[in-house]
Amino acid sequence: MRIISFLTAILVTAFLYLLVFERDALSAVSRGAPLSTLLSAVMGNDPAPVNAQEPAEPSQESAQQDSPATEDDPIGEVLIKVVAVKSKSQEIDSAVILRGQTEAARQVQVRAETSGQVISEPLRKGSMINPNQVLCQLDPGTRSTSLADTVARLAEAKARVPETQARLEEAQSRLEEAQFNLNAAEKLAEGGYATETRVTSAQAATRSAEASVATAKAGFETTRSRIQSAEAAVASAEKEIERLTLQAPFKGILETDTAEIGSLLQPGSLCATIIQIDPIKVVGFVPENEVQRVQLGARAATQLVSGQAVFGNVTFISRAADPLTRTFRVEIDVANPERSIRDGQTAEILIASEGKKAHLLPQSALTLNDEGNLGLRLVGAGDIATFQEVDLLRDTIEGVWLAGLPDEVDVIVVGQEYVNDGVKVAPTYREMTQ
């Protein structure tokens, strides 16, 4: 039994040796070659097999399935067949593409300027508000009494005006009389008809009249100052009463409920928040390398995240860059009569810019070079393949608009992945519509 096992092991080892190291000779024997072919291979010789059946050549169809189509040129060089199109540049409207969001055109928080208890019924958020509509009405308290008191003091001050004015006029009349008597006494004294005592008395009367005029003027100015003070007090009291009524500054929508009835508002307390979303602003931030392409009044299209498309015009371009992102704020006004666009929606913005020369080509024609740059394979002079980097301007259903190419180019659209720069190709041209 042990001898049989040993012989079996030897036979298996020999078969594995032939299968691994002499596979070609073993295959030839299996196709009808003489056994000597196998023995010669084992002994180290490599004679040609006798009457061995040659392996069949692979079919041309199979070879075409495993590699790109090739053909021989007149000098025997193998060329790679490619499909190309002749493309001419066209003038298109370029666009600056931004990401942004919608913002309310106006938003204000109506706050109290004085203290008081709310005595008006609250308005609920979402309500439409008209300009000067009452939002919160505060309890006037004793403010009406204070106004009446200041009005009375103003009337009292005004009533003193005739009295003080009469005193001033009387003092001025006495001064004129005293000055006349003084002049007469001085002239009589010069002619020897009046004594020095009379002249001195006239001078004293004049100085007394001048003092009376000064006192009357001071009384008149005091009365006028009291009138001005009373008028200021009346204006302050009236303004305080006006502050009791909190009104909407513009037409909009209530974003919050107004203050509840019975609540106490202090100066600075919030009554309500109003926003205006018709028109609504779409805000984006343009990079500094493209800000010169955006102009005031330029037409802009906005695609909201909800799928809604709206149009407007650029109304503002910031002159100062954001210190962190180095981008510039751009605002676009969009009509929103139905108020279907809300504040804070994400939007993709396309701002029209000056036209640019570009080629419309299928997206499948794009490829990458060894450095990872995006471009196209072109058919150059002498049917030599070259790589050309491009700038992607716009992606549409018809294809992609590419810039950075000559006005007329031959672009490889099929087979561009199988050729490198400097490789000669056998191009077949087709129309762009195919």
Regarding whether 314 and 278 lie in a shared domain, the answer is: yes
In a domain, 369, yes or no: yes
What would the mean pLDDT of 124-150 be, rounded to a whole number? Answer: 93
What are 328's strand-pairing partners?
286
d(CA 168, CA 209): 11
What would the mean pLDDT of 69-85 be, rounded to a whole number? Answer: 70
Regarding whether 277 and 258 lie in a shared domain, the answer is: no
Regarding whether 291 and 251 lie in a shared domain, the answer is: no
* pLDDT, position 64: 42
What would the mean pLDDT of 315-323 be, rounded to a whole number? Answer: 94
Give the least confident one: 44-53, 86-95, 121-130, 148-157: 44-53
pLDDT at 50 over 60: no
pLDDT at 111 over 90: yes
Tens digits of per-residue pLDDT, 248-271? 999 999 999 999 999 999 999 999
Higher-confidence position of 284 and 194: 284
In a domain, 212, yes or no: yes
Strand 78-88 relative to strand 408-414, pairing: antiparallel
Regarding whether 369 and 336 lie in a shared domain, the answer is: no
* pLDDT, position 241: 94
* pLDDT, position 118: 95
* pLDDT, position 431: 82
Tens digits of per-residue pLDDT, 143-186? 989 999 999 988 988 888 888 888 888 888 888 888 888 888 78
* pLDDT, position 404: 87
* pLDDT, position 29: 63
pLDDT at 58 over 50: no
Regarding whether 350 and 369 lie in a shared domain, the answer is: no
Regarding whether 167 and 153 lie in a shared domain, the answer is: yes
Regarding whether 238 and 148 lie in a shared domain, the answer is: yes
Higher-confidence position of 23 and 425: 425
Higher-confidence position of 203 and 112: 112
Regarding whether 230 and 148 lie in a shared domain, the answer is: yes
Regarding whether 368 and 312 lie in a shared domain, the answer is: no
In a domain, 63, yes or no: no
Q: Is the dihedral of CA 204, 209, 215, 221 positive or negative?
A: negative
pLDDT at 53 over 50: no
Domain of 176 in residue numbering reads as 143-242
The CATH number assigned to the domain holding 184 equals: 1.10.287.620
In a domain, 200, yes or no: yes
**Mean of all residue pLDDT scores within the chain:** 84
* pLDDT, position 284: 95
Percent of the chain with pLDDT over 70: 84
Regarding whether 165 and 283 lie in a shared domain, the answer is: no
* pLDDT, position 40: 66
The CATH number assigned to the domain holding 335 equals: 2.40.30.170
d(CA 404, CA 84): 18
Tens digits of per-residue pLDDT, 413-422? 998 888 888 8
* pLDDT, position 12: 72
What would the mean pLDDT of 385-402 be, rounded to a whole number? Answer: 87
In a domain, 62, yes or no: no
Helix/strand/coil (H/E/C) assignment for every residue in the chain: CHHHHHHHHHHHHHHHHHHHHCHHHHHHHHCCCCHHHHHHHHHCCCCCCCCCCCCCCCCHHHHHHHCCCEEECCCCCEEEEEEEEEEECEEEEEEEEEEEEEEEEEEEEEECCCCEEECCCCCCCCCEECCCCEEEEECCCCHHHHHHHHHHHHHHHHHHHHHHHHHHHHHHHHHHHHHHHHHHHHHHHHHCCCCHHHHHHHHHHHHHHHHHHHHHHHHHHHHHHHHHHHHHHHHHHHHHHHCCEEECCCCEEECCCCCCCCCEECCCCEEEEEEEEEEEEEEEEEECCCHHHCCCCCEEEEEECCCCEEEEEEEEECCCCCCCCCEEEEEEEECCCCCCCCCCCEEEEEEEEEEEEEEEECHHHCEECCCCCEEEEEECHHHEEEEEECEEEEECCCCEEEECCCCEEEEEEECHHHCCCCCEEEEEEECCCC
* pLDDT, position 59: 42
Higher-confidence position of 346 and 160: 346
* pLDDT, position 70: 57
Based on the structure, what is the number of domains in the chain?
5
Regarding whether 287 and 171 lie in a shared domain, the answer is: no
* pLDDT, position 61: 41
